[in-house]
Amino acid sequence: MSTSSETSPADVDRALDHLDAQGRRLLFSAARTANSFAATPVSDAELSDIWELAKWAPTAANSQPLRVLYVRPGEGRDRLLKHMNEGNRAKTASAPASAVLALDTQFHEHIPALLPYKPELKDVFAANEAMRTETGTFNATLQAGYFILAVRAHGLAAGPMAGFDAAGIDAEFFPDGRLHSILVVNIGHPGENPWFGRLPRLDHDDVVQWA
C-alpha cells in the first residue's frame, strides 16, 4: 500500500499519492460489516490511533463536530447494551470495544482554535441555531464515515449500527445534553461467521450522470 505521512498534512507532497489495489480492497470493495467478534483484545493504543488517523479528514470550516466515546466490556458495556435494539445486542456484547459517535451541538466554541484566520465564525454559528445544527449534523455524519474507514485501515473490523435508542444513550452517557449520539460502531477482529452474504450494488448507469 502506498502511503504518505499520517503525522501532519503539511508533510503531504503536491503530487497526491494513491492506494494500491490491496488498500482499495481493504477500505472499499472487500469491506464488510462485522456481526460477530473474536475474543482477541483491541488495545487502548489501537483505539487512540483510529481517531488520530480519522481526525485529519476534512470538514466544513474545519469544524470537527464529532465526538467519540469508547465503551469497554464491563459496567460501561452493560449500560450501552440496554439501549441497543434487540438484534444488535449480541453482536455488541461480543465486541472488545464499541464507539459511540456523537455530535457536539456546541462545536462552534472551538472555531477560534480550529479556524484561526476566521474566528468570528464562532459568533455566526452561535447566532444561527438552524445553520449550526445543519452544519454540525452533516459534518459529524461525514466524520463517522471517516471513522469507519480508519477502523478498517488499522486492520480491524467495524460494525456500524443505527439501531439503538439514541435518547436513551444520550441520557445514559451525555446527561448534560450537549452531545447527541448518531452511530454506534463495534470494533474488533472478526468472529465466527461474521459476514452476511454480499449484497448487490447499483450499476454505474443507475447512479452516475454526466453533464
Residues 64-93: pLDDT tens digits?
999 999 999 999 999 999 999 999 999 999
How sure is the predictor about 1, in pLDDT bands with cuts at 50, 70 and 90?
very low
Predicted local confidence at residue 3, as pLDDT: 45
Tell me, yes or no, whether 201 lies in a domain.
Answer: no
Mean pLDDT for 180-187 is 98
- For residue 82, what is the domain's CATH number? 3.40.109.10
Predicted local confidence at residue 16, as pLDDT: 87
Residues 14-36: pLDDT tens digits?
788 999 999 999 999 999 999 99
Predicted local confidence at residue 14, as pLDDT: 75
Tell me, yes or no, whether 18 lies in a domain.
Answer: no
**CA 117 to each of CA 64, 121, 122, 205: distance values in angstroms, whole numbers, following the listed order:** 16, 10, 12, 43
Tell me, yes or no, whether 5 lies in a domain.
Answer: no
Q: 2: burial class by Cβ within 10 Å (0-12, 13-18, 19+)?
A: exposed
Q: How many domains does the chain have?
A: 1
Structural domain of residue 60, as residue ranges?
32-193
Determine the residue type at 210: W
How sure is the predictor about 128, in pLDDT bands with cuts at 50, 70 and 90?
very high
Tell me, yes or no, whether 96 lies in a domain.
Answer: yes
Q: In a 3-state reduction of DSSP, which class is residue 130?
A: helix
Distance of alpha carbon 188 from its chain centroid, rounded?
14
Tell me, yes or no, whether 16 lies in a domain.
Answer: no
